[in-house]
Amino acid sequence: MSNTSAIFGGIPDTPYGYYSSCDRALIMNVALGYGTLVHEMVHAFMEANFPACPTWFNEGLASLYEQPSERAGHIYGGTNWRLAGLKDAILAGGVPPFEAITKAGRRAFYGERRGIHYAAARYLCYYLQEKGLLVRFYHRFFAEHAKDPTGFATLREVLGERDMRAFQGRWERFVLELTYERGKP
């Protein structure tokens, strides 16, 4: 990251990496692992394929693939380091409702609760992946984003849920049962 200012000007606000849409470049410290590379590649993919994608889904999907592996020829996200903080937030009652997360704009998403927002969005995507609903959600949301710009209604529809607060309680129990062992998907 030390060469970033010489090449692109400015000092990055992260030691990990970022995607610069203006420069059409992925900038990262690959010494920290390939998870950051895949995360930033997802941002480039989303910009090219779903430019209207809201922050929560863009970051949730990118974060999902920070712990990438492969299943039947497709990318798969395993549990990762964000799990411990999310579990702490769940136990403290500090995870915002999904409706609030999906409606959060860039400034709110990246604000003081950014760690919880990232983790909740990531593990919501993880849940969809594990239930075989992530691809369906993506395609449906992409097709309906003009009518549902946050994705919340599409999420409710794909999950088959009327009461999203009740669903969030079940999702929180699902998350609390997950484990993460460094180096394993």
pLDDT digits (tens, 9 = 90+) for 41-95: 888 889 999 999 999 999 999 999 999 999 999 999 999 999 999 999 999 999 9
62 residue type, one letter: A
pTM for this predicted structure: 0.84
For residues 15-40, average pLDDT: 62
Our CA angle for 8, 48, 121, nearest 5°, is: 90
| Same domain assignment for residues 24 and 99 | no
What's the pLDDT at 182?
A: 73
User: What b/e sequence results for 66-104 when a residue is b if at least 16 CB atoms lie within 10 Å of its CB, and e otherwise?
Assistant: bbbeeeeeeebbbbbebbeebbebbeeeebbebbebbbb
Return phi, psi of residue 5, to 5°. Answer: -65, -35
Return phi, psi of residue 117, to 5°. Answer: -60, -45
For residues 11-22, average pLDDT: 54
User: What is the domain extent for residue 10?
Assistant: 1-32
pLDDT at 5 over 70: no
| Same domain assignment for residues 48 and 135 | yes
The answer to whether residue 120 sits within a structural domain is yes
Q: Within the chain, how many helices (H) and strands (E) appear? A: 10, 4
| Same domain assignment for residues 46 and 5 | no
pLDDT digits (tens, 9 = 90+) for 162-177: 999 999 999 999 999 9
The answer to whether residue 4 sits within a structural domain is yes
| Same domain assignment for residues 7 and 43 | no
pLDDT grade for 36, boundaries at 50, 70 and 90: confident
